[in-house]
Amino acid sequence: MPRCFWCSDDPLYQAYHDHEWGTPQRDPALLFEMLLLEGFQAGLSWITVLRKRERYREVLHGFDPVKLAALSDEYIEELMQDPGIIRNRLKLKAVRRNAQAWLAVDNPGQWLWSFVGGAPKINHFTGRSDVPAVTDEAKAMSKALQKAGFTFVGPTICYAFMQATGMVMDHTTDCDRYAALLR
C-alpha cells in the first residue's frame, strides 16, 4: 500500500497512518489525548510517543481531564521514575495545567474545530516539500490555546495535532489514504 513519505516500515507506525492519522476526529476525549501526546512529542519523533501511548493511557488515567487536573506533585515525581513514558517534568506538569485549561473551556472539541471552520481542510499535496510545518490556522490555534492557559501548544505542535486529528487532511496524493479520505 502506498503511504505518506513520513511513514516508516514499523507496523505500529503503519497502523497509525492507515487507521488514525488524518481521519477526522470529533470525540473530545480523543482530541484531548492527542493534544497531550503532541505536547509530549516536542523535540522527539512521533514514533517515540506512539510506542509509549499505551503506557501513557495507563498512568494518565485514560487521559481523563478531571483526574489529570488534580494530579499531585508527588504523583508527577512518581511518573518521573517510569521508564515507560517520556520523563520530562515540564511536560508532565503541562498535563495537569492543560487538563485544568481543557475543563475551563466550553465545548473544547467544537472550539478546536473552529480553527478550520468546523470542517476538515482538504489539502492536495504531492510530496514532502508541499506539506507545511505551520499554517495561519495553527498559529491562531496556538495563540488561543496559550491565552486559555495551555502549554506545549506552539504552532508546530498545533499543526501536527490538526493533521493527526483530521482537521487538515495532509495525506499526499500518492498515498492510498488520500483517495479514501476524499470520499
49-98 per-position pLDDT tens digit: 999 999 999 999 999 999 999 999 999 999 999 999 999 999 999 999 99
Q: What is the mean pLDDT of the chain?
A: 97
Phi, psi of 122 (to 5 degrees): -95, 120
Q: Is 38 a catalytic residue?
A: yes
From 13, 21, 33, 38, the catalytic residue: 38
The residues that bridge with 169 in the sheet, in sequence order, are 122
- Rg (Cα) of the chain, in Å, rounded? 16
101, amino acid identity: A
Q: Is 178 a catalytic residue?
A: no
Q: How far apart are CA 40 and CA 54, in angstroms?
A: 14
DSSP-assigned letters across all residues of 34-51:
HHHHHHHHTTS-HHHHHH
Is the whole model's pTM more than 0.85, yes or no? yes
91-141 per-position pLDDT tens digit: 999 999 999 999 999 999 999 999 999 999 999 999 999 999 999 999 999
Q: Is 16 a catalytic residue?
A: yes
From 6, 16, 20, 111, the catalytic residue: 16
Give the SS3 label for residue 158.
helix
